[in-house]
Structure 1
């Protein structure tokens, strides 16, 4: 059986480590599966801020992140601040309006739920590419 052309091609996420913080189990699982199918390694997914901080402080490299704005009734902003300080690009996912994010993160892409996972993957790939330029 021949290997398909698509399976031999590398995607912009191949070999990238993507940090996923999402408390909706099925969405977190879908995000992880989608990114793994594109060759990415997943850090997480985690659904608690404590677990997110453990990954942030474990010494590993993070190439990009997907952050749900509200994790179990807690706002994700402390994690977002640390990623921003490290220069790690990220997107927010949310069911809230942009006003919830406030001016500090107005430059961060926000994807409304339900999420278009292909569009999310493209957005993260573009953010990673921009970071390298």
Structure 2
């Protein structure tokens, strides 16, 4: 089911280490017409993908905890490039890095409808377009 607003042809980086959730995200985003980059399961691969400039990234979904490693270096890299992103985590937002307090934080388990709506919302920049 397509949600109004659109992820069609949007390039979405998925940084998620849980295989089943990563597959669900890819499936749902693809059904919305998005081009999924990844999923990548760790910070090193995510940074490599960003640094390699494998196409423009329109928006990203970042799992906060990747097998015990925090995703914050990826968040910093995306901020430095002006790429909007949100966190998806099993943790409450107030347990995260205070530097990212203003970043949208979705708590797992995710509903795909709320995820799609959140992605569309953070891609819409006032005065853009």
| Fold match by TM threshold 0.5 | yes
- Give the whole-Å Cα distance in 2 for the aligned partners of 1:108 and 1:11: 21
Q: Is 1:19 matched up with 2:13?
A: yes
* TM-score under structure 1 length normalisation: 0.88
Give the paired residue count. Answer: 127
Q: Which has the higher helix share?
A: 1
Partner of 2:73: 78
* TM-score under structure 2 length normalisation: 0.91
- Give the whole-Å Cα distance in 2 for the aligned partners of 1:13 and 1:62: 12
Partner of 1:92: 87
Partner of 2:108: 113
| Segment of structure 1 superposing worse, 21-30 or 95-104 | 95-104
- Give the whole-Å Cα distance in 2 for the aligned partners of 1:55 and 1:92: 18
Answer with 1 or 2: which has the greater Rg: 1
Contact 1:11 1:39 in 2 (8 A): no
RMSD after superposition: 1.9
Structure 2: 5+ residue stretches without partners: none
What SS is found at the alignment partner of 1:54? helix
- Give the whole-Å Cα distance in 1 for the aligned partners of 2:78 and 2:49: 11
- Give the whole-Å Cα distance in 2 for the aligned partners of 1:83 and 1:132: 21
Structure 1: 5+ residue stretches without partners: 1-5
Partner of 2:63: 68
Contact 2:12 2:57 in 1 (8 A): yes
Deviations 1:32-68 (A, max 9, x none): 1101101100000011212111211111210000000
Contact 1:11 1:38 in 2 (8 A): no
